[in-house]
Chain A
Amino acid sequence: MSPVFFYIFAAILIGASLNVVLSRRNPLYNVLSLVIAVFALACLFVLLEAFFVGMILLLVYAGAVLVFFIFVVMCLNLKAEEVQKTQQKHMRWLGTTAGILFAVSFYFACQSFIKATAMGASTIRGTVETIGKVLFTDYVLPFELTSFLLLIAIFGIVSLAQGVLSTGKNEAGL
């Protein structure tokens, strides 16, 4: 675990996340910033020797979820976000204050926690073999249940899209 790599990837992650929230150009730029953030996060996972989860993150997030996002952004053909000055201003200040308050309270919570338990890094390595062994013995029921979740999601999306496809208008009720 090299400190230099941690700081490099942490800086990339923070910068990309700030761009996701703050960029007011075309929504495509927000999505692409999130791709960079996911890459930096996967690098941090590899530094933590969680190789399998890092790869899954890249495959599922950068590969599938964010491509889906980009597809929808291009499909909707959105323009850059117009700034509504009157309505948004106080909300933005409120939100920023809430975020800073959360960060400060999180900092103090972490500090007391770190003092209570000083832990060193263990030697576990999250490879496909080790994760697979645990996944298919202790956690096999939750793993099977996720397949039902995915099935229900497919039903939901098909029923949502069905009205749009058949009549050109949505009849699903939203």
Chain B
Amino acid sequence: MITLAHYLFLSGIIFSIGLVGVVTSRNVLKVLLSLELLLAASNLSFVAFSKFNGDYAGQLIVFFVILVAAVEVAIGLAIIVLMYRRLSTIQADELKEMKW
């Protein structure tokens, strides 16, 4: 029997993997991909809570999170393309214009 705890632990594992990716990646594209993992983990726990609480609100929040994530990715990728045109790299370490 699969309980709520199984889903929460799975979501925690995915969130930890994504967190490691966000902190350790120097490649901006990989940071965005890891952010998607974080969103996926929270979506999973929302849907699991929705199922085990008998409330549709969790699934609706996931719907809105997916919409906002699509917007975030579109803006993020536009910024990455601009960064590549300006610096010819997408390594986050190269963004040091405010360093003196």
Contacts and interface: CB of A to CB of B under 8 A. Distances in A.
B20 A99 contact: yes
B27 to A, nearest CB: 5
- Please classify how large the interface on chain B is, using the bins under 10, 10 to 19, 20 to 34, 35 or more: 35 or more
Interface in B12-61: 12-21, 23-27, 29-30, 32-34, 36-37, 40, 43-44, 47-48, 50-57, 59-60
Contact of A56 (B34, B40, B63, B73): B63
Interface residues of A, number: 83
A172 B81 CA distance: 12
B86 interface: yes
A92 B27 CA distance: 13
Given A34-B37, A38-B40, A50-B47, A149 B67 contact: yes
Interface string A61-79: 1001100110011011010
Contacts of B26: 81, 84, 88
